[in-house]
């Protein structure tokens, strides 16, 4: 899966996901450290990558825009170490692949994953 990691996530997470076979780019690698959320989302959209973040602002941006891309994975778990995040993502991304490929927001919580199709707020 092609992923773009937001700057709130560790570069170590990117390396772990690459080891698991994912095509991962971190915003810092693209010179987007400190870029606005709109710029980061536009990059994910242009590069056809799933945006991975812990920042809920991206969900709000997708809801207000009405866009159906990029897909978004929000990590909303208390464990912030890259190894734990990588384990959760590697364990769950295959099952989320179809939804993310067609436009979705997946929120990974402690005990479940919520998936909403894009565009948000539409029937």
What are the structural domain ranges in the chain?
A: 2-117
pLDDT in tens, 15-61: 999 999 999 999 999 999 999 999 999 999 999 999 999 999 999 99
Cβ neighbours for 9, distance < 8 A, ≥ 6 positions apart: 26, 52, 53, 54, 75, 82, 85
In this predicted structure, the answer to whether residue 7 has a pLDDT above a threshold of 90 is: yes
CA–CA gap between residue 15 and residue 12 (Å, rounded): 5
Average pLDDT over residues 68-82: 90
Which residue in 35, 32, 37, 27 sits closest to 64, CA to CA?
A: 37
Query: pTM for the full model?
Result: 0.94
Q: Which CATH architecture has domain 2-117?
A: 3-Layer(aba) Sandwich (3.40)
């Amino acid at each position: 899966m092609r992923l773009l990691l937001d700057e709130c996530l560790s570069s170590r997470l990117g390396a772990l996901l690459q080891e698991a076979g994912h095509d991962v780019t971190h915003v810092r690698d693209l010179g987007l450290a400190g870029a606005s959320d709109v710029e980061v989302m536009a990059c994910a959209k242009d590069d056809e990558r799933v945006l991975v973040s812990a920042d809920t602002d991206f969900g709000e941006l997708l809801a207000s825009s009405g866009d159906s891309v990029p897909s978004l994975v929000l990590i909303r778990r208390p464990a912030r170490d890259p190894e734990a995040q990588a384990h959760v993502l590697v364990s769950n991304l295959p099952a989320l692949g179809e939804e993310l490929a067609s436009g979705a927001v997946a929120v990974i919580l402690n005990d479940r994953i919520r998936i909403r199709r894009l565009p948000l707020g539409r029937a």
